[in-house]
A and B are shown apart, each in its own frame.
Chain A
Amino acid sequence: MAAVANMPVSDLLKSFKLKTKQQELLIRVSILCLVYILAFITRLFSVLRYESMIHEFDPYFNYRTTLYLTQNGFYDFWNWFDYESWYPLGRIVGGTLYPGLMVTAALIYRILHFLRFAVHIREVCVLTAPFFASNTTLVAYFFGKEIWDTGAGLVAAILIAVCPGYISRSVAGSYDNEGVAIFALLFTFYLFVKAVNTGSLAWSLASAFGYFYMVSAWGGYVFIINLIPLYVLVLLITGRYSMRLYVAYNCMYVLGMLLAMQIRFVGFQHVQSGEHMAAMGVFFLMQVFYFLDWVKHMLSDTKLFQAFLRITVTCAVTVGTIALGLGMLSGYISPWTGRFYSLLDPTYAKDHIPIIASVSEHQPTAWSSFMFDFHILLFLFPAGLYFCFKRLSDATIFIVMYGLTSMYFAGVMVRLILVATPAVCLISAIAVSATVKNLTVLLRSKNKGVQTGSTKGSGSSKASSKALLDQSQPFQKNGAIALLFGAFYLLSKYATHCTWVTSEAYSSPSIVLAARGAHGSRVIFDDYREAYFWLRQNTPPDAKVMSWWDYGYQITAMGNRTVIVDNNTWNNTHIATVGRAMSSYEDEAIEIMRSLDVDYVLVVFGGVTGYSSDDINKFLWMVRIGGGVFPVIKEPDYLVNGEYRVDKGAAPKMLNCLMYKLCYYRFGEMLTEYGKPPGYDRARGVEIGNKDIKLEHLEEAFTTSNWIVRIYKVKPPNNRW
C-alpha cells in the first residue's frame, strides 16, 4: 500500500533529499497521526449534536464515583461505603467496582490541572473513551507489525479506528469500562505476543502490568486469563513450544496473578474460582512438561527416559486430578458463575437467572448485527485466516485463536461483538495487506518470465481467483489494476458505512431523546433530566426514591437522592421486593413501601410520546423477577390468553396494579393523537382499559412536560381519630 502511494509523492519528497527509508517512515508516521485524529473525531457526533454529557445508565455511576474520587482522594474512594443506594442495605462501593476507569480519568484530570487547564471532571469523563480509542489504534498498529508487517499494522489501525463494533461502546459520553478495557485488552495481548517472540523477562513484566490494568478496568479480564493458557496449551500440543514460551507465560502468570489480587473486587478469585483454574492448571502442566524436557535432554538413553516419563506422568496426573477433584467437591473451588456460565450454555440464564436474561445486551446476536457492526470485515476475516495459516508462527497462531474464540462469544451475546472487534480488524488487515502487496508486486514486476503469484481476489467483488498464465502479461497488469480499484472501492464503502452507522445508530445519549416534528424540525425530549433536576430541587435531601433498577444510577448521580435499587443488581431479593410492590394492588404495595421508608415513586411512561422503552413494556420482567422470589406474584394473572394487553380486554390484576395506576393516572382524559379517543396509548397502540384511576395512598408530585417521567409522593398514614 505504501509502495503505490510512493510513486507520485516520491518526486515531491525527493526534493527534500530524503532516502526511501525516510520517505517510508514519514508516510507511516503521517498516516498514524491522521488515523489517531480520525478515531477521536468520529466519536464526537453526540457532543456536536446535543451537548457534552454522559450517556445511558452505567456511565452515571462511573461519573459519580470519579467525582467522589477527585473530591475526596484515593483512600476515601478505596474505602467508600455508599449509603445512598440500595436503601436500607447500602453498598460497599470500594470493594465492588473496577477502579481502572475512574483512576485513569482522575489521573488525566490531575495532569490537565497541573498544566493549568481548568477543565471540569465531566468533560474529562466524556472524552476519555475517544482518547483511549485513539490509543487503541496505535496499539493495533504495533500488534499488526508484530504479527505480520508494517503494512498490516497500518491497515489494522485504520480499520479499528472506524469499526462500528468498537465505536458502539466508546463514543464520546459513553463513560463505561469497555472504553478503557479494550485498549487494555489489546495492549496486554500485544505485550504477551512480544514476550513470546523475544523471550525477554522485561516484556513479560510489561504484559503482567498490562494484565493488571485490564483486571482493574473490566470484568472481561476472564477472557485473557483463559485465552492465554489455551494458547499455551495449543502450542504445547502442536509441538511449537520453546524456552521463550516458558519465560513469557510463567513470569506473566505469577506476577499478573499477584497484581490482579490487589483489586478488592477480584480478591482471591485467581486461586479459588473455577473460571481461573485453567491458568493454574496450565502453569503446573508447564512445569512438569519442561522438567521432563530437561531430563530428556540430560539423559542420553531413551529407554531409561521412557521409564522416568511413565513414573512422572502417572504421579503428576494422579496428584492433579486428586487436587482438582477435592477442590471442586468440597466447594472450595467455586464453579463458573452465572454470567460466564451462560456464555457456555446460552439457555442457562433464561431458566435460572431472569435478571441476566432480561438485559437486552445479553441476547444472542443476529446476522444483521454482525453485518451492521463489521461490514466488509465479515468476509475479509476468513480470508485473513487463510493467510495466517499459510504463514504459521507463534504470533499468527495467537491471533487466529483470539479471532475464533472471540467470534464464538460474539455469536452468543451481542455485547461481546466488542471483544471480537480487535481480532477481526487485525485478521482482516492481514488479508487486505497481503492481497494489496501481491497485487502491487505484480504491477511493479518487469516483463520477465516470472511466476505469477496467485492473485487472491478476496478484496474485490469483481474478481474471480484464476491463475494467470505467463503469456498474458498485459492482462495480468490490467487484472491487477482492476482488482486494486475493487479493493479500494470496497474499503471506501466500508468507511462510508462506518461513519453512517456511527452517526445514525451509536451516537444517541439515551437520556435525551430526539424526534422529527410534523414539519421535519427536530424535537428534543429532555424529560429525564427535567425529572431528576426537579427531584434534586424539590424534595428533602434524605428522601428515598423507589423506581425500577434501570434508573437507579441516574437518580443518584443527577437527582442526588437515595434509591432503593440500582443498576448494580447485586441483590436479587431486594429487586424482587420492588418488583412485587410494582405488581401488587395499591393496598399491598403501600405496606411494602412503608417498610422500605419510600418517599417518592418514579415511573417512566411512553404513552404520550410513543417512547417504547418505558416501564409498561418492561413490566413483565418486573413480574417475572418478583415472582421468582415471591410466589404470590404469578405471571399468568397479568396476561389474557398468554397475551399482554393494557386495553379493555386486559386482566383485572393488570388493570389495577400499582404500575398501571401510576403510569396511566389522569391519562384517560388526555388526547394524544388526532382522530383517536382520549386515553390512546401511542406506545402500545391501543386505548387503555381503566381510565378512571383513583390513588389512595400516593399523590402525584410531578409529571414532565412530555409525560415521560412521572413522580408520585407517598402520603403519610392517615391520622387515627
Chain B
Amino acid sequence: MGRASSKEDAGALFHSLRSAYAATPLNLKIIDLYVGFAIFTALIQVVYMAIVGSFPFNSFLSGVLSCVGTAVLAVCLRIQVNKENKEFKDLSPERAFADFVLCNLVLHLVIMNFLG
C-alpha cells in the first residue's frame, strides 16, 4: 500500500461516488441541494459567532438550530420520498411533504419565539 496506490484509491472512490450520485432522480437532487444550502448557512453563522462572540446566545442557537432543523427535516423528507426505501412504499409523497411542511412550521414558530 504505497502512496501512489492510495491516491489511485481516492481517485477511484471519488469517481465511483460521482457516477453513482449522478444516477439519483431529480427530485432527490433538489432536496440534497436544499440540505447543502441549509448546512452552509449554519456554517456561516458559526464562523460569524466565532468572530463576533456568542451574546445573545439564544439568538445564535435559534439561528443555527433553524438551519440544522430544516436540514434534518429535509433529509427525513428525502428518506420518505425515495422510491428505493421499501418501508415507506405505502406513504404517498403528498403526505410526506405535508408532514415536512407542518414540522417546518412548528420549527420556525418556536425559532421566532426563541430569537428574543
A254 touches B68 (CB 8 A): yes
Shortest C-beta distance, B65 to chain A (Å), equals: 6
CB nearest to B70 among chain A residues: A254
Residues of A within 8 A of B96 (CB): 201
Closest Cβ–Cβ distance, residue A476 to chain B (whole Å): 42
- Nearest residue in B to A291 (C-beta to C-beta)? B75
| Residue ID in chain B nearest A242 by CB atoms | B87
Are B107 and A262 closer than 8 Å at their CB atoms?
Answer: no
B80 and A199 within 8 A (CB) = yes
Interface flags for A220-249 (1: CB within 8 Å of B; 0: not) read 000000000000000000000011101100
Are the C-beta atoms of A255 and B79 separated by less than 8 Å? no
CB distance from B64 to the nearest CB of A (A): 10
Distance in angstroms from B41 CB to nearest chain A CB is 15
Determine whether the beta carbon of A257 is less than 8 Å from that of B73.
Answer: no
| The one of B6, B17, B72, B114 that contacts A262, using a Cβ cutoff of 8 Å | B114
A7 at the interface (CB under 8 A from B): no
Known: A250-B75, A268-B57. A201 touches B80 (CB 8 A): yes
Find B79's partner among A243, A254, A301, A307 (CB 8 Å cutoff).
A243
Bound-complex Cα distance A532 to B110 (A): 44
Asked if residues B21 and A298 are in contact (CB atoms below 8 Å), the reply is yes
Q: Are B65 and A257 in contact (CB under 8 A)?
A: yes
- Which residues of chain B are within 8 angstroms of A300 by Cβ–Cβ distance? 16, 20
How many chain A residues touch B (Cβ–Cβ < 8 Å)?
31
CA distance A257 to B96 in the complex (A): 23
By a CB distance below 8 angstroms, the chain B residues around A262 are: 110, 113-114
Pick the contact of A250: B6, B72, B91, B106 (CB < 8 A): B72
Once A205-B103, A258-B65 are accepted as A-B contacts, the answer to whether A247 and B80 lie under 8 Å apart by CB is: yes
Is A201 a contact partner of B87 (Cβ separation < 8 A)?
no
A202 at the binding interface (Cβ < 8 Å): yes
**Pick from B62, B80, B106: contact of A255, CB under 8 Å:** B106
Q: Within 8 Å CB of B57, what residues of A?
A: 268
Pair A246/B107 contact, Cβ less than 8 Å: no
Chain B residues near A258 (CB-CB < 8 A): 62, 65, 69, 107, 110-111, 114
- Given that A247-B79, A299-B16 are known contacts, is A202 also in contact with B87, CB under 8 Å in the complex? no
Bound complex: CA A304 to CA B16 (Å) = 9
Could you tell me if A250 and B76 are in contact, using CB atoms closer than 8 angstroms? yes
Complex contact B79–A246 (CB within 8 A): yes
Docked pose: A201 CA to B17 CA in angstroms: 29
A301 to B110, CA, bound (A): 44
Q: Taking the nearest CB of chain A, how far is it from the CB of B66, in angstroms?
A: 9
Establish whether residues A255 and B17, one from each chain, have CB atoms under 8 Å apart when the complex forms. no
Nearest-CB distance from A91 to chain B (Å)? 23
Chain B residue at smallest Cβ distance from A297: B84
Rounded to whole Å, the gap between the CB of A284 and the closest CB of chain B is 11
What residues on B are CB-neighbors of A244 within 8 Å?
A: 87
Q: Which residues from chain A contact B102 at a C-beta distance below 8 Å?
A: 201-202, 205
Complex Cα spacing A244 to B91, Å: 12
Per-residue CB contact flags for chain B residues 37-67 toward chain A (1 = under 8 Å, else 0) read 0000000000000000000011001100100
Bound form: Cα–Cα A258–B58 in Å: 10
Cβ of B12 within 8 Å of any chain A Cβ, yes or no, is yes
Q: Using Cβ atoms and an 8 Å threshold, which residues of chain B touch A205?
A: 99, 102-103, 106
CB distance from B68 to the nearest CB of A (A): 7
A308 at the interface (CB under 8 A from B): yes
A295 at the interface (CB under 8 A from B): yes
Report which of B10, B12, B107 forms a contact with A254, defined as CB distance below 8 A.
B107
Complex CA–CA separation, A251 to B68 (angstroms): 11
Contact A268 B20 (CB under 8 A): no
Residue among A204, A243, A259, A268 facing the most chain B CB atoms (10 A cut-off): A243
A635-B96 Cα distance, complex, nearest whole Å: 67
**Does A304 contact B72, Cβ atoms closer than 8 Å?**
no
A263 → B minimal CB distance (Å): 11
- Measured between beta carbons, the chain A residues less than 8 angstroms from B111 are 258
Q: Which residues on A are within 8 Å of B, measured CB to CB?
A: 199-202, 204-205, 208, 242-244, 246-247, 250-251, 254-255, 257-259, 261-262, 268, 271, 295, 298-301, 304, 307-308
Contacts A246-B79, A251-B103, A304-B13 aside, 10 further interface pairs with beta carbons under 8 A come to: A202-B102, A205-B103, A250-B72, A250-B76, A255-B69, A258-B62, A258-B111, A262-B113, A298-B20, A299-B16
